Structure 1
Amino acid sequence: MKLHTTTTMSLLLFLLLGSSCLQVSMSGSAFCDSKCSFRCSKAGRHDDCLKYCGICCAECNCVPSGTSGNKDECPCYRDKTTGKGSRKRSKCP
């Protein structure tokens, strides 16, 4: 009987912790979704902009204000690059 009680308590604790982690990750996603939606609202390649903005937002926890520029507001977002050497360019829109 004691094993059953311990197992039940462990399962309840696991579910409680799991649901709180899920809620935090969903709120972070909502933040990035709304910020990137505005940031990419005037982009010519809207889907690509949303994809890369979302990646950068998740890693940096910020998105510069406006639809372009202002990258100094978020150094992590500004400094992410793709490629190497002369082919290096900004990863985040």
Structure 2
Amino acid sequence: MVMDVGCFSSCGLRCELHSNQERCHRDCMACCNRCKCVPPGQYGKKEICGSCYTDMKTQAGRPMCP
């Protein structure tokens, strides 16, 4: 688990393989700043960061955090 880390580098790794890296990085930074956590790897494992990370939604009601 990556807690209280530099969001920029953690989100860079998290979004490395995303098809829209700019949007992924923006959303990841917002989630990291609020939840103080970024899950390890490029996808999945969101539950490691708890409900703050898994429950954040976009205005359209979709999961926000990558």
- TM-score normalised by length of structure 1: 0.62
SS of 1:82 mapped into structure 2: coil
Identity %: 39
Moved over 3 A (4+): none
1:81 aligns with 2:57: yes
Q: Higher helix fraction: Structure 1 or Structure 2?
A: 1
Q: CA deviation at 1:82?
A: 1.8
Across the two proteins, how many residue pairs are aligned to each other?
A: 62
| Aligned-CA RMSD value | 1.5
- Structure scoring higher RCO (CA < 8 A, sep ≥ 6) equals 2
Gaps of 5+ in 1: 1-27
Give 1 or 2 for the bigger CA radius of gyration: 1
Give the structure-2-normalised TM-score: 0.85
